Amino acid sequence: MYTLQQLMSPVRRAVSDFHMIKEGDKIAVGLSGGKDSIALLSALAGLRRFYPEKFEIVAVRIDTGIGYNEQEEKSLADYCEQIGVDYHVEKTQIYQVVFDERKEKNPCSLCANMRRGALNSTAKNLGCNKVALGHHADDLIETFFLSMIYEGRLSTFQPVTYLSKADLTVIRPLIYVKEHEIVSFSKDKPILKNPCPVDKFTKREEIKKTLKDLSADYPLLKENVFNALVDDSRHNLIKKPLEKSGE
């Protein structure tokens, strides 16, 4: 099993490489209840104990109104208490808007935008200046291929992004962590199953499968793409921004 110490090593390196955390930061950790966000919260809670730049974290879960398992929700809250992190649940009607009112045929984009907006608003209300998201190395690569294939542009997310409209900085401390490492780490952690009817039936899942198939013939595919993207991000080798302004 991938341990907390193993997880914290690449997280600390990412935080240092991209100057993600500064003295006095208060960070809202987006806690969906999935494996990625649990790993992120665990790593930042551990890092908080000894990192030279002192910072605060609060776990924020956006309840979309879809209806979650109560026992799983309690286990998630108990875990936050166990690791000494304040836990805040923001109730919304995102599910009703997306599926019942708008009846979106492709609901993921609207849902993601609404959840992101709710998370940012909640973070500001809680006095946070930063939001931490659980995107990892595989997400970086998949987002690049999604943008290239479906949007016709070379684009992915940045490790650090300042949102001028919200006056918040978004950080992604899991940028050096691979998905299989997160799966291993999260095996004994409380996971909130996603009851969304379109979960696992998205374009991202298609890209994930395509990359898996390609990697069978080109074992270094993901590693090489990741290294190219991270080098470009760090050294600004791509003139075109990797992320749209305001996202």
The Cα–Cα gap between 161 and 116 comes to 14
Sheet holding 86-91, edge to edge: 86-91, 56-63, 26-30, 130-132, 168-171, 160-163
- Over the chain (247 residues), the average pLDDT of each successive run of 10 is 95 95 98 96 97 97 88 95 97 89 80 93 98 96 93 90 95 96 96 79 89 96 92 49 36
- 241 falls within a domain: no
State which H helix or E strand residue 74 sits in: helix 70-82
Q: Counting every residue, how long is the chain?
A: 247
- 93 falls within a domain: yes
Of 174, 155, 90, 161, the closest CA to residue 124 belongs to: 90
Of 134, 149, 148, 143, the closest CA to residue 179 belongs to: 134
* Domains in the chain, number: 1
Per the structure, the complete domain to which residue 221 belongs is given by 4-235
**127 CB-contact burial (10 Å; exposed 0-12 / middle 13-18 / buried 19+):** exposed
- 100 falls within a domain: yes
- 52 falls within a domain: yes
- The confidence score (pLDDT) of residue 232 equals 59
- 8 falls within a domain: yes
- 242 falls within a domain: no
What is residue 135's three-state secondary structure?
coil
The Cα–Cα gap between 232 and 175 comes to 14
- 164 falls within a domain: yes
- 34 falls within a domain: yes
Domain containing residue 129: CATH number: 3.40.50.620
State which H helix or E strand residue 171 sits in: strand 168-171
